């Protein structure tokens, strides 16, 4: 009589560990994909950070005066290009969708 109870207990324990392992390691959040609102927000954040850093660096180089070149539109285009290229090269840096 004890043999079948032991088998049931062992089977249940193995099932619990399998389900626990799936819950811990099997469910991974997906990264945001191009075209989604989260991706657009991610790119806009990277562009804003890039523009801020470029302006800060230009002010440091030019003793507190912002140079005429590049124009704000050019600065935006440059930073947008950098953000998209960085995303293509390092797709693992994308945020996760929860």
pLDDT digits (tens, 9 = 90+) for 27-66: 677 888 888 899 999 999 999 999 999 988 888 888 878 7
Domain that holds residue 86: 2-97
- Global pTM reads 0.66
- DSSP class per residue in 43-95: HHHHHHHHHHHHHHHHHHHTTT---SSSPHHHHHHHHHHHHHHHHHH-GGGSP
Residue 10 pLDDT more than 60? yes
How many domains, the chain?
Answer: 1
């Amino acid at each position: 009589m004890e043999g079948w109870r032991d088998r049931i207990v062992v089977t249940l324990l193995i099932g619990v560990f399998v389900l626990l392992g799936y819950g811990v390691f099997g469910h991974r959040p997906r990264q945001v994909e191009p075209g989604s609102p989260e991706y657009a927000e991610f790119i806009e954040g990277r562009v804003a950070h890039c523009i801020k850093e470029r302006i800060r660096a230009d002010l440091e180089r030019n003793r507190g005066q912002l140079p005429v070149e590049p124009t704000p539109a050019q600065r935006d285009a440059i930073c947008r290009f950098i953000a998209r290229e960085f995303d293509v090269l390092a797709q693992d840096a994308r945020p996760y969708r929860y």
